[in-house]
Amino acid sequence: MVQFRKSLISLALASTFVASNGLSAAVEPNAEASIEKIAVTGQRIAYANNTTDEAMLDTVSPAGNVLDAIKYLPGVSVGQGDTFGSDDWSTTISMRGFNVNLNEQQLGITIDGLPNGGSAYGGGSKANRYMDTENTAMVEVAQGTADIASASLDALGGTLNFISAAPEAEAGVSAGITGGDHNARKYFTRYDTGQLFGNTTAYISLSDSFNNRWIGSGSNGFSERTHFEAKSVTELEHSKITARFSYDDTAEDNYNTVSLAEFEQNPAWDRLTSQWTGDPEIDQNFAEAWSTLRENSFSYVKWEQELADDTDLTVTPYLHLQSGRGDWLPPYQVYVTDKDGKRVNKGTGNGQLQRYTHVDAQGRPILDPKADLSKATRVSSFRHTHYEKDRAGLTSELKVQLDNHQLRAGVWYEQQDRNETRDWHQVLNAKVYHYFNETPYWVHYDRDYSTDTLKLFAQDTIELGDLTLTAGVKQFYVDVERQDNIVTSNAGELSSDSDPLFSVGAVYRMTDSVEAFAGFSQNFKAIGDAILETSQDFSKLEAETADNIDFGLRYNADDLSLNLTLYSTTFDNRITFLQPGANQGAPDYLNELDGTYINVGGIDAKGVETSLNWQLNEIWSVYGALTLNDAVYNQTVNGTIKEGNQNVKNPRGIFEDDQVAGSPETIVTLSARFTTDKYNGALTARHTAEYYGAALGGNKDQLPASTVLDLSLGYQKTLSQDAMFQYVDLSLLVNNLTDEEYLSGGQEGAYYIGAGRTASFTVSLGF
């Protein structure tokens, strides 16, 4: 299996260049193809959308996470465990009441328009696994809905499309070194080939990064990452071929959640420890043992063919391979027996899982809670959850222009195989460190999952002078199977097909600068394979759906762009995954999912999103964004329980008209920017008003308001052709300039502490 995966990776990497270099020269490439013109403005389509600009990318440290590039856009709230976004476990995204966190994945993420394979912690991969910040051209954010061809099973509330940079037209080498607080450092280098064979441009890049957790000192945990990318673009007379490969190897120590009360007690400690004590009860919270390890490779070859003057075909096969592990340190070991009372090392036996904390001189478990432990040895476990995923798929789209009609039709197909295994390892000497026996003493579970996805879509766009009308339909067919590799009789399957999902829209150009738009779309999220991991009756769960309506205005002139959107969304059959937070005590290490999936009814959301980009003069510009979001639960779910003969309020119930937990209601962003021939900079303030963090049993945990300032300063100088370097680029970035104490996101009753003031400095050279 390992050799097979390595062969696939090698094949994918080779295809990045073979797909291009194996072609004969046909036409000269368009030199302008590599020049990215980026602006914060909505595309002229019938739904709300925004795109990042260069100034937003400048606020993300090269050692940081590309997800942070969207944090200033209207309607979007991004939370990270630290400034560098170096912990996937603590990453949260919220948009219009739709969330990505440990519990929920309701926003689609695509890479150059291709699916990321989900954003869940267990087996998912967010954008930072695929792309370095230096190789990110822009991010397209579609609030509420997405282009009808978007390939995602999570796009209930919109899609984030991360677009990789094009190769440069001229050959050259760039190199960068970043250093910063918390021992942060990153080394990055990229080689652009320039034109090859008269029709091809390409680049390869390699980076290596590291940083400690910002909380604590000493053995307080760290993140390290190695990342490689390659991309080529070949332009022929009637076709274009783009090939890309990325490889990412990451080891991250996590941040822990805290309760609101714990944050108020100490806003700079997440209750993980940074010194090994030899006491497993304390050391279960040792930061270096809360870890995420992930390895991802992703490749695609995109073929765009002009079949006729009015007909274009695009076909993109892709391949994604992932392996990973998540670690925890339970302060005990587990004794499992079969029906005859014999100890077993796989599965749950007769269902009686007995914990023990000591062994005798011969290493035998002491199971009697009343036994004399004075001469016994204290023991603990190192628990690993292993993730393996292989995805292969294809997207295709045909576009035909017939008079004033543009017809689009396409298919997305993907086959995914996934394995999840959890095993428990003996800590060799709990007094010393969490060194462990690499052979597990118990395999809790070992399961294979298979998911087949098929999406069909069609759309007609009609041009009627200044009025553009759009109508489309899409449908998903999703089949999921599970096979237990320990108890082979335990198998399950489900089909989660959608009804036909319709979308209609209109764009009316009022003047050369002003247009109005309106759109309606039906969105869908299939029930994922994680449902089959539980023993609950998943037949009672319904697939999540959402109806989205947008009305808006766009103004685009030479020096000023404005966007205004009014939206209304109805979200039905919301499924959430409830995981115990740190504030409820230590995690239940024996719970296979550490939580439960439930339907919590629906959500109604309405609000306003607006943004402004104003070029005051040749040097100064101003950017602003405002989000007003009112997202409430639209029905009561499990509102009461029986206590004796009386019905009382259920502390785990959801109540109609309560605010959606974890969804900020008011976000204001204001940025002052300057740019000259050599210097650039920006000071950006982002204010998030107070909002509720919890909803079970009624709204509670009103998270305090915060205002976070980011400062970026840069200097660039182009040198003469005779100089050693072609250019020098210096940049300073200070995030959370005023060292604001705040909570950056989380899930029901458990929140992540926002990172304190963090500075980083980058030197980039061009050869």
Q: In the structure encoding, which two tokens stand for residue 141, read together?
A: 């954010």
Q: Give pLDDT, residue 581.
A: 41
Q: What is the pLDDT of residues 160-173, one digit of tens each?
A: 999 999 999 999 99
Q: What is the pLDDT of residues 390-436, one digit of tens each?
A: 999 999 999 999 999 999 999 999 999 999 999 999 999 999 999 99
Q: Is the pLDDT of residue 669 over 60?
A: yes
Is-contact 498 540, C-beta < 8 A? no
**Which of 83-92, 116-125, 199-208, 247-256 shows the lowest mean pLDDT across its residues?**
116-125
Q: Give pLDDT, residue 23.
A: 40
Is-contact 662 92, C-beta < 8 A? yes
The mean per-residue pLDDT over the stretch 621-630 comes to: 97
The mean per-residue pLDDT over the stretch 20-29 comes to: 39
Geometric angle at alpha carbon 297, from 387 and 319, rounded to 5°: 95
Q: Is the pLDDT of residue 5 over 60?
A: no
The residues near 765 (Cβ < 8 Å, ≥ 6 apart) are 174, 175, 176, 725, 727, 728, 729
The mean per-residue pLDDT over the stretch 199-225 comes to: 96
Better-predicted residue by pLDDT, 763 or 43: 763
Is-contact 738 754, C-beta < 8 A? no
**Which of 565-569, 638-642, 725-729, 754-758 shows the lowest mean pLDDT across its residues?**
638-642
Q: Give pLDDT, residue 580.
A: 43
Q: Give pLDDT, residue 543.
A: 85
Helix (H, G, I), strand (E, B) or coil at 2: helix
Q: Is the pLDDT of residue 350 over 60?
A: yes
Q: How confident is the model at residue 723 (pLDDT cuts 50, 70, 90)?
A: confident
| Strand residue runs (E) in 57-96 | 76-79, 92-95
Q: Give pLDDT, residue 536.
A: 59
Is-contact 194 168, C-beta < 8 A? yes
CA distance 159 to 108: 4
The residues near 303 (Cβ < 8 Å, ≥ 6 apart) are 239, 240, 241, 314, 315, 316
Q: How confident is the model at residue 596 (pLDDT cuts 50, 70, 90)?
A: low
Q: Give pLDDT, residue 725.
A: 86
Q: In the structure encoding, which two tokens stand for residue 480, read together?
A: 């999921």
The mean per-residue pLDDT over the stretch 76-83 comes to: 94
Q: CA-CA-CA-CA torsion for 277, 279, 285, 290, nearest 10 degrees? A: 80
Closest by CA to 552, choosing from 135, 143, 29, 62, is 143
Q: Give pLDDT, residue 587.
A: 67
**403 phi-psi bin (left φ>0, alpha ψ -120 to 50, beta other):** left
Q: What is the mean pLDDT of the chain?
A: 90
Closest by CA to 305, choosing from 401, 231, 239, 249, is 239
Closest by CA to 334, choosing from 593, 594, 589, 596, is 589
Q: For the chain, give the percent of residues with pLDDT over 70.
A: 90
pTM for the model stands at 0.91
CA distance 244 to 200: 13
Q: Give pLDDT, residue 450.
A: 97
CA distance 565 to 613: 15
Q: Give pLDDT, residue 273.
A: 97
Helices of type H across 443-501: none
Domains of the chain: 2-24+39-210+220-235+244-331+381-634+661-694+699-766 (2.40.170.20)
Q: What is the pLDDT of residues 743-766, one digit of tens each?
A: 998 988 999 999 999 999 999 999
Q: Is the pLDDT of residue 489 over 90?
A: no
Q: Is the pLDDT of residue 468 over 60?
A: yes
CA distance 481 to 452: 9
Q: Is the pLDDT of residue 99 over 60?
A: yes
Task: Give 578-599 as a 3 state SS string.
Answer: ECCCHHHCCCCCCCCCCCEEEE
The mean per-residue pLDDT over the stretch 460-482 comes to: 96
Write the DSSP string, 686-731: EEE--EEEE-TTSSEEEEPPEEEEEEEEEEEEEPPTTSS-SEEEEE
Closest by CA to 504, choosing from 526, 535, 531, 471, is 471
CA distance 322 to 294: 7
CA distance 353 to 339: 12
Q: In the structure encoding, which two tokens stand for residue 68, read together?
A: 């942070």
